[in-house]
Chain A
């Protein structure tokens, strides 16, 4: 149990375009979903936390207008990278929490984004 999927697993896009990444909890309802970014050889960086039906809480330094997060249901959250640039190329990972215990997170397999 506690499976989280992400789609797509990898994507290449041109600079200036937007890319949407989906995160789904397949066998549980996710009260909270988290979006992380990881650059090569670096640790996970939390970008934002989203609760179903409410606005996402962004970490300091993360542009909310550039990284649009929608958590429309208890099993789906999306991250849209708007007007992508090469420096946005990274590994984006989502995780989902059933809410009990509050800290328990299950990670998706990640999405590798390359902006050319």
Chain B
């Protein structure tokens, strides 16, 4: 079966750095997304990785290792507004989007 694993919840301190991991086992791979979702709102796009390596976009970076079936989202200089759920999603060989359960990130002052 297809499976995406992420930690259920993480806590970090304002101003610090946090890394949210995502591992996947899917039938084929055509890319990996990270989305941010605040409570009661729809997801918003953060990043897309299809090649191995690190993609940096401001305070957020996303890393992919296809051989390991592994990605992480790195958030730097954490702000209170970064408190949200972070969803990892993988596109399989049929171009279906497979969603992880999401990681709830709690930022403390």
Q: Contact residues of A with B, CB < 8 Å? A: 41-44, 46, 91, 93, 102-103, 105-110, 112
Report how far A29 CA is from B44 CA in the complex, Å: 20
Number of interface residues of B (CB under 8 A): 17
Shortest Cβ gap from B86 to chain A (Å): 11
Known: A42-B101, A43-B99, A43-B102. A103 touches B31 (CB 8 A): yes
Partner of A103, one of B44, B97, B99, B101: B97
Minimum C-beta distance from A36 to chain B (A): 9
Residues of A within 8 A of B99 (CB): 43-44, 46
Residues on B with beta carbons closer than 8 Å to the beta carbon of A41: 104
A106 contact set on B, CB distance < 8 A: 45
Q: What's the Cα separation between A91 and B99 when bound, in Å?
A: 16
Q: Which residue in B42, B95, B101 is a CB contact (below 8 Å) of A110?
A: B42
Asked whether B53 is an interface residue with its Cβ less than 8 Å from the other chain, the reply is no
Nearest neighbor of A45 in chain B, beta-carbon distance: B99
Nearest-Cβ distance from residue A100 to partner chain B, whole angstroms: 12
